[in-house]
Structures are given as C-alpha cells and as structure tokens.
Homo-oligomer: A and B are copies of this chain.
C-alpha cells in the first residue's frame, strides 16, 4: 500500500490523498455510499459516527454526524453533485440540501476509484476549496493525518466485505 499527499501545481485550492488499496473498487464505493458502512469508518477513532445519511444521486442530501470523545456532535450536512457508480462520487458543503445554501461554502469532495486490476484500486480523495486560505485552514485542521487515518479505517473495513 502506498500513500502520497500532494498539492499539484496550479491547484493551490486542493488537498489530495491518493492511495493504492488492495481491494476492488466496488467495495470502497460501498463503504462510502451505504450508511451502515459509513458509520464504521468515517470518523478517525476515537471519534465515532452516530449518524450517516446519504441520498446517492445528484441533488441528494448527505448528513453525517461525527462525535468527539467528549460527546460533542459535529454535524456535516452536504449535497451530492455527481455519481458514477463504483467510479466517482462528488459532494459539497456549499448546500445543506437541494438547493439551500450553507452558511459558508468551504469545499467540494471529489472521490475517484480507479480499477488497477488484480483486485487493486487507486483511491483518490480530493478536497477542493473555494479559496487557498480555506485550503490552508483545512490543512492546519489536520487534513492529511485525519483523512489518512480514515482511509486506513476505510480500507480495513472494505477488506472484510464479501461482495
């Protein structure tokens, strides 16, 4: 398994996690799109994910709540923008539902699941911000470590799936 964390030239608003995972892509996609699976990996432990809803279609609402070890809930409302089953999933926090603007458009998540053959997948999670300042804030919030831990959890869960 290899991981790279990069900010490509000319894309100073993006934070990117790319990893080759030894699991077929449809299992990773399932972990992102099925609420009962999402709850098991979405928050970096010891955080938990008590609530996960996602309506997997353009314009569908997503609502995922993370709970910190002190019991504080951190809600993450968003809207799905693009769906290519097993290949791509895009959502944003710019809306809380279709089409209610959120308090602050912060980023768009662009997830791609590339089939590498042999049961392997190149998984890329791109957080694309509206401003470079927001990208920097997100980076300082611990994007790379947090999303890295979550991706470990995602891969471990996906490996346990039969189908």
Residues on A lying within 8 angstroms of B by beta carbon are 13, 58-59, 81-82, 90, 92, 94-95, 98-102, 104-105, 108, 110, 128-130
A101 touches B130 (CB 8 A): yes
Do A13 and B101 touch (CB < 8 A)? Answer: yes
Which residues of B lie under 8 Å from residue A98 when comparing CB positions?
81-82, 90
27 pairs, CB–CB < 8 Å, chain A vs chain B: A13-B101, A58-B58, A58-B59, A58-B81, A58-B82, A59-B81, A59-B82, A59-B90, A81-B98, A81-B99, A82-B98, A82-B99, A90-B98, A90-B99, A92-B99, A94-B105, A99-B110, A99-B128, A100-B128, A101-B105, A101-B108, A101-B128, A101-B129, A101-B130, A102-B130, A104-B130, A105-B130
